[in-house]
């Protein structure tokens, strides 16, 4: 069974959907570690409730990105992590982790990339007045949401949508799609 680490910075709804998929037997993996760069994030409580170990750090306590990524890498190696899943981790991954986990780091983004990369993709799409947005799962490279696309799913923007209702539908799509894609990657690419 593949051991995955989930990196998250916020509430952890995608973290929870992945954990729930494992518990239901829909995802054949072990969530072996949460990595979180925000010591007060709600995702930490979710991990504690699931008895999943966490590595929590504050980037400002390190001299640079390479320093905290070396620390993360030690944690990943100590737990025999096979694959990294970014789930609302709001930092670019640097060379230390990219080299150690080449083609074994994926991210989910709430837009149909290449449209609306970076922060607040849902707000960007909403303000642009597009009729369709969606969800993209992609491999992570050194850029911001620029890695090769693995899967996408469209979400219509309804005439009566608010930013909040659109976000709810995008998150529901993410929670369904991400575990399916992770399972496919672990059973084919990582086999």
Strand partners, 1: none
Domain of 53, CATH number, reads: 3.40.50.170
First to last CA, the chain: 10
Q: Using CA atoms, how far apart are residues 64 and 100, in angstroms rounded to an integer?
A: 18
From the list 65, 66, 110, the residue with the least C-alpha distance to 87 is 110
**pLDDT tens across 84-143, in order?**
999 999 999 999 999 999 999 999 999 999 999 999 999 999 999 999 999 999 999 999
**pLDDT tens across 1-41, in order?**
999 999 999 999 999 999 999 999 999 999 999 999 999 99
Catalytic residues: 109
Non-local (6+) Cβ contacts of 86 within 8 A are 6, 7, 8, 93, 105, 106, 107, 108, 140
pTM comes to 0.96
> Residue 131: which domain range?
2-188
Number of domains in the chain: 1
> By three-state DSSP, how is residue 100 classified?
helix
């Amino acid at each position: 069974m593949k051991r995955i680490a989930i990196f998250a910075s916020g509430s952890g709804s995608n973290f929870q959907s992945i954990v729930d998929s494992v518990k239901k037997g829909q995802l054949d993996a072990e969530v072996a570690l949460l990595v979180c760069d925000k010591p007060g994030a709600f995702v930490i409580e979710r991990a504690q409730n699931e008895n999943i170990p966490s590595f929590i750090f504050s980037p400002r306590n390190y001299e640079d990105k390479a320093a905290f990524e070396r620390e993360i890498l030690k944690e990943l190696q100590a737990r025999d992590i096979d694959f990294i899943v970014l789930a609302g981790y709001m930092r670019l991954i640097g060379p230390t982790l990219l080299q150690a986990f080449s083609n074994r780091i994926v991210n989910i983004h709430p837009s149909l990339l290449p449209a609306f990369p970076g922060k607040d993709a849902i707000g960007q799409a909403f303000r642009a007045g597009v009729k369709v947005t969606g969800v993209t799962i992609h491999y992570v490279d050194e850029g911001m949401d620029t890695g090769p696309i693995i899967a996408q799913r469209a979400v219509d923007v309804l005439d009566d949508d608010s930013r909040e209702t659109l976000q709810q539908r995008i998150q529901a799509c993410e929670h369904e799609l991400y575990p399916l894609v992770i399972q496919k990657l672990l059973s084919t690419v990582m086999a």
